[in-house]
Amino acid sequence: MDYLPAVEIEYPQGRDINASIIWLHGLGADGNDFAPIVPQLRLPDGLAVRFIFPHAPSIPVTINNGFVMPAWYDIKELDIDRHVDEEQLKQSAAWVHDLIDREIERGIPASRIIIAGFSQGGAVSFEAGLSYGSTLAGIMALSTYFATADSIEINPVQNTLPILICHGTHDPVVPEVLGRKSVATLQNLGFDPEYISYPMEHAVCPEQIRDIGDWIGRTLTAQAEG
């Protein structure tokens, strides 16, 4: 099978891997975008994580005058409702499912796999994580929106899935109202997402990186103890 090309980092090196995080970049970036923060997460000593940072294919993006760039899906209008190409988004989610399946084949249970994403990558993470057929460890959605909220087919095995949503209060690209809307939507669907905001724009900040590392540690530790 052909998988999305990706940057892979095992951290710390030389340890038997006991969890995986598949982390999707935003529009116009690639899998190298978040790789440098891995050592900054300060994960608990008992965790040995394989980080997988896939590269999105390059496609024409309507809101950027059809310019070809790495993207998980086309965005047709940059309004508050985010008119996106749902077929492309769901295809990207299917590619993430393939990566999850590969991690399971490599010996990592689905319950030890977190799906994460920034901006466009976060929208795909919602779709991929909530629709996957085996219970995952969690979803981490950064500076993003729930693009397929009205069409997603949530798999019941994910009904108690831990979800972390982070957003910048000064985000000019994906307004914070969309992050809060994702929280409300998930709550209405029976989930209990954790929400943290930061005084930043469309980015990540040191405080957020610490909080992400803490959430990853808590989520994977709780899963192991459960």
Q: Which residues are catalytic?
A: 119, 171, 202
SS3 content of the chain, % helix, strand, coil (to 5): 35, 25, 40
Would you mind telling me the total number of residues written for the chain in this entry? 226
Kindly give the residue spans of alpha helices, DSSP state H, lying in 75-205.
86-105, 120-131, 176-188
Q: Give bridge partners of residue 84 from the DSSP assignment.
A: 75
Return d(Cα 46, Cα 192) in angstroms, integer.
Answer: 26
Amino acid at 141: A
Return d(Cα 72, Cα 56) in angstroms, integer.
Answer: 6
- Give the Cβ contact number of residue 46 at 10 Å: 12
